[in-house]
């Protein structure tokens, strides 16, 4: 459940699916729905959630609906917060590779997700991970806005300019990797104002556990200079090498 929509599990034609119901409190919600459907309609990749159907009527009391497959384990955040689940290093690396491959595909279209975080990564029963939620995603050819995204995952340059690049997603991915290994949100004890001070003014990053296998990748991904962050193609390559060593 998010600010702009709620997600429901439904049965349809003998299967179980997820229906995302968008709120209609303002024009922005409808715009987000149309944007998400337009983007999802051109995407087809095993690590990107597909849009199976979309529904919109002229009735003022109806809600726009988006139908997609159901990912039974929920969001990555839900998985990480479930302490009854044991995640092996191999499983963590597999999910990291899945997320990176999904993002590599999006970036091949010059599509900036702009809100990459554990809540927007979905996990299937067999631990397959997909990228979801494209409501504020934009193609590089479109006009960008400053300070868009979610707290800790927002790259520093997004607060400073609207002329940022796809490398803002690489920055956010570093914190997804951090959460995957540490099973919590980085700097969760800090307020939004404190985060700005710590990350932008002081250029600090969260402490990384000594046994984290991809600490070097994270360090490159959350670099202050976006030009020094790796592409997702490079990230996929490096993560796959680490995964092979664990198998």
Residue 46, domain CATH: 3.30.200.20
If DSSP codes are grouped into helix, strand and coil, which group holds residue 35? Answer: helix
| The domain boundary residue, chosen from 16, 50, 69 | 69
Question: 16 is written with which tokens?
Answer: 């179980």
- Residue numbers of the domain that contains 57: 5-69
Q: What is the pLDDT of residues 206-231, one digit of tens each?
A: 999 999 999 999 999 999 999 999 99
Q: What is the pLDDT of residues 141-157, one digit of tens each?
A: 665 665 554 578 889 88
Please name the residue ranges forming H helices in 46-166.
Answer: 76-81, 89-108
**DSSP 8-state secondary structure symbol assigned to residue 221:** H
Answer for the pair 50, 40: CB distance below 8 angstroms, yes or no: yes
Whether residue 110 sits in one domain with residue 165: yes
Answer for the pair 168, 116: CB distance below 8 angstroms, yes or no: no
Q: What is the pLDDT of residues 161-194, one digit of tens each?
A: 777 899 999 999 999 999 999 999 999 888 878 8
| The domain boundary residue, chosen from 40, 69, 98 | 69
| The domain boundary residue, chosen from 25, 51, 69 | 69
Q: Looking at 26-35, 53-62, 195-204, which range is the least confident one?
A: 26-35
**Which residue's entry shows tokens 């479930």?**
82
- Rounded average pLDDT over 66-75: 92
Whether residue 236 sits in one domain with residue 191: yes
C-alpha separations of 212 from 20, 182, 221 in Å: 35, 9, 15
Answer for the pair 177, 224: CB distance below 8 angstroms, yes or no: no
Q: What CATH number has the domain bearing residue 229?
A: 1.10.510.10
Q: How many domains does the chain have?
A: 2
> Phi-psi category of 187—alpha, beta or left, where left has phi over 0 and alpha has psi -120 to 50?
left
Question: 206 is written with which tokens?
Answer: 């969260």
C-alpha separations of 238 from 23, 105, 222 in Å: 40, 16, 16
Whether residue 107 sits in one domain with residue 86: yes
Q: Which residues are catalytic?
A: 115
Q: Report d(CA 70, CA 130) in Å as an integer.
A: 11
Answer for the pair 90, 247: CB distance below 8 angstroms, yes or no: yes
Q: Indicate the pTM of the whole model.
A: 0.90
If DSSP codes are grouped into helix, strand and coil, which group holds residue 130? Answer: strand
Q: Which residue has the higher pLDDT, 79 or 1?
A: 79
Q: How many percent of the chain have pLDDT more than 90?
A: 54
Q: Which residue has the higher pLDDT, 94 or 138?
A: 94
Q: Report d(CA 199, CA 21) in Å as an integer.
A: 34
Strand partners, 106: none
Q: Report d(CA 10, CA 20) in Å as an integer.
A: 10
Whether residue 100 sits in one domain with residue 49: no
């Amino acid at each position: 459940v998010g600010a702009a929509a709620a997600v429901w599990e439904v049965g349809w034609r003998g299967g179980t699916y997820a229906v995302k119901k968008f709120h209609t409190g303002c024009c922005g919600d409808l715009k987000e729905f149309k944007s998400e459907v337009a983007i999802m309609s051109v995407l087809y990749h095993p690590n990107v959630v597909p849009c199976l159907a979309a529904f919109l009527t002229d009735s003022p009391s109806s809600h726009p609906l988006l139908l997609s497959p159901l990912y039974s384990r929920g969001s990555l955040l839900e998985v990480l917060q479930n302490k009854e689940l044991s995640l092996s290093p191999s499983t963590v690396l597999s999910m990291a590779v899945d997320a990176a491959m999904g993002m590599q595909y999006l970036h091949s279209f010059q599509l900036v997700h702009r809100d990459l975080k554990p809540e927007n990564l979905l996990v299937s029963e067999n631990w397959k991970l997909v990228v979801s939620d494209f409501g504020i995603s934009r193609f590089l050819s479109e006009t960008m806005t400053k300070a868009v995204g979610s707290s800790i995952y927002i790259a520093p340059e997004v607060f400073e300019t609207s002329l940022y690049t796809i490398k803002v997603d690489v920055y956010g991915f570093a914190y997804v990797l951090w959460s995957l290994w540490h099973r919590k949100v980085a700097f969760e004890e800090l307020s939004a104002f404190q985060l700005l001070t710590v990350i932008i003014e002081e250029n600090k990053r969260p402490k990384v556990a000594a046994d984290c296998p991809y600490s070097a990748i994270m360090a490159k991904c959350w670099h202050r200079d976006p030009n020094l962050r790796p592409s997702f193609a490079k990230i996929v390559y490096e993560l796959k090498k680490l995964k092979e060593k664990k198998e």
